Amino acid sequence: MDIIIGSDHAGFDLKEEIRKFLSEKGYYSVKDIGTFSHVPVDYPIIAREVAKNITEKKFTRGILLCGSGIGMSITANRFRNVRAALCHNLYTVELSRKHNDANILVLGGRVLGSSLALEMVDLFLHTDFEGGRHQRRLEEIDT
């Protein structure tokens, strides 16, 4: 599975942990678009890059991180066919995939601990979309 990941400075530390976690798994191709330090960067720049790549189907899934996750999710969801889900626990991650076919997981670097965040990423990547009535609802979003 091809994954694109990005963060602003507030999500940098957690992004690095997630990137390392995914690399150690060995069966993911991960493109890290930054940021690469704690130097302040505007989150919309990163969110747009990830969302654009998802829209263009260059990557299967994306992960975005900022302080709260709110700014990243707002920005990413402006792109057609992007379903960026801001999640705070395992239940919201599971439903984001099963019911909403989320293709970008958004996390708050100042909100979540790394252990929970890694569990959330793993669940996001291993949960399938249920389709059925949920597919119809997704189609209604784009009309």
Domain residue limits, the chain: 2-141
| Alpha-carbon distances of 32 from 95, 98, 140, 142, 143, rounded to whole Å | 26, 26, 32, 29, 32
Concerning whether 99 is annotated as a catalytic residue, the answer is: yes
Residue 143, pLDDT score? 63
Average pLDDT in the 56-85 region?
A: 97
pLDDT at 86 over 70: yes
Single-letter residue type at 8: D
| Residue 67: count of CB within 10 angstroms of its CB | 17
Given the residues 38, 99, 126, 134, the one annotated as active site: 99
pLDDT at 141 over 90: no
Helix and strand counts by DSSP (H, E) for the chain: 6, 5
Q: What's the mean per-residue pLDDT of the chain?
A: 96
* Widest Cα–Cα separation across the chain: 45
Q: What is the rounded CA–CA span in Å between residue 124 and residue 79?
A: 20
Average pLDDT in the 73-91 region?
A: 97
Distance from first CA to last CA of the chain, Å, rounded? Answer: 29
Strand ranges across the sheet with 104-108: 29-32, 2-7, 61-66, 104-108, 84-86
Q: What is the CATH number of domain 2-141?
A: 3.40.1400.10
Residue 27, pLDDT score? 77
What residues contact 20, with CB distance under 8 A and at least 6 apart? none
SS3 content of the chain, % helix, strand, coil (to 5): 50, 15, 35
| Cis geometry, peptide bond prior to residue 143 (ω within 30 degrees of 0) | no
Matching residue, tokens 């066919």: 81
